Copies of this chain bind each other. A is one copy, B any other.
């Protein structure tokens, strides 16, 4: 049974400001390897056609040329590029992905993956995805529970229940981002996993669940696809139809309501969503100048950075904006981005 990778590249995240911008969100940055997260995601889900079909890319319309350029650089051919005329969250993307797969790769399972996560061990990850095929073929919508490395309070957790197929378990509960005490309890108790936002399902099963639980999303997605227009090598979803789609997450629209949610637990492939600069690692580029300093992360898209007598800092430099943050407070960059919005500094967003 083939797996149809669908890479969700619609994020416009500014959590890695000032390097990430609306025009070049996180997935198009090289944060973990020499390649961008988008390129690494495409390559991760390519196995020469053995189990994985050529991927479908679903992305924001402003990033079409960026995507084509990045695909050319890694020499990967994709099945299709579908452009969203506006952002409508992951439920709409899941519906489009299921409809597209049913029509263009009938019989294949759909694997939905964000474009902006990092995975250290790609082979292990692919094997985890493949291990979900049995449950997905049975009609389960399969998520992947990341083995929690520490009691993180920034992720949702998945509680696993009874076995439904080889290696797959029913989902007993989706847990919101916990407080520190609750997160520690989850880890000591066991059976709780980080929700990695990854989904494997049969297109037909997903379409059925949408029809039952959120028919308006399914209709909007179908119309948007049916009336899509060619846009270079890509296709642009019909704007009126897609705009009519409720903007909610697939977790909220389907996963928390369906009786057929399953989880492949304990996925241990070095997953990170690189949600903030705190989760970016690596040494400073040799172009930079480090003097009498320790534990300083430097990222730059051009300017040379000099650090003198400092420690535990993140320094991110671009030609028009610079971030200097204490390493353990990098998530607070959101406050800066909000302030920029308030000030109308669209040029820096």
- A residues contacting B by CB (< 8 A) are 17-18, 289, 291-292, 300, 302-310, 313, 315, 317-326, 328-330, 332-333, 335-336, 339-340, 345, 348
Report yes or no: A325 in contact with B345, Cβ–Cβ below 8 A. Answer: no
Distance from A8 Cβ to chain B, minimum over Cβ atoms (Å) = 28
Report yes or no: A335 in contact with B304, Cβ–Cβ below 8 A. Answer: no
- Interface pairs A-B: 10 shortest CB-CB: A309-B329, A309-B326, A308-B325, A306-B336, A317-B322, A289-B336, A305-B322, A308-B332, A306-B323, A304-B321
- Which residues of the partner chain B approach A315 to less than 8 Å between Cβ atoms? 322, 324
Interface SS of chain A: mixed
Report yes or no: A308 in contact with B322, Cβ–Cβ below 8 A. Answer: no
Report yes or no: A291 in contact with B335, Cβ–Cβ below 8 A. Answer: yes
- Which residues of the partner chain B approach A333 to less than 8 Å between Cβ atoms? 306, 308
CA distance A343 to B202 in the complex (A): 57
Report the copy number of this chain in the oligomer: 2
- Knowing A332-B291, A332-B292, A340-B289, the reply to whether A309 touches B321 (Cβ < 8 A) is no
Report yes or no: B324 in contact with A305, Cβ–Cβ below 8 A. Answer: yes
Report yes or no: B308 in contact with A310, Cβ–Cβ below 8 A. Answer: no
- Which residues of the partner chain B approach A317 to less than 8 Å between Cβ atoms? 303, 317, 322
- Which residues of the partner chain B approach A305 to less than 8 Å between Cβ atoms? 321-324
- Which residues of the partner chain B approach A17 to less than 8 Å between Cβ atoms? 306
Report yes or no: B303 in contact with A319, Cβ–Cβ below 8 A. Answer: yes
Residue of B nearest to A330 (CB): B308
- Which residues of the partner chain B approach A348 to less than 8 Å between Cβ atoms? 304
Report yes or no: B291 in contact with A309, Cβ–Cβ below 8 A. Answer: no
Can you list 29 pairs linking A and B with CB atoms under 8 Å apart? A289-B339, A291-B332, A291-B336, A291-B339, A292-B329, A303-B318, A303-B320, A304-B320, A304-B322, A304-B345, A305-B322, A305-B323, A306-B322, A306-B325, A307-B325, A308-B330, A308-B332, A308-B336, A309-B325, A309-B326, A310-B313, A310-B324, A310-B325, A310-B326, A313-B324, A315-B322, A319-B319, A322-B322, A324-B324
Distance from A5 Cβ to chain B, minimum over Cβ atoms (Å) = 36
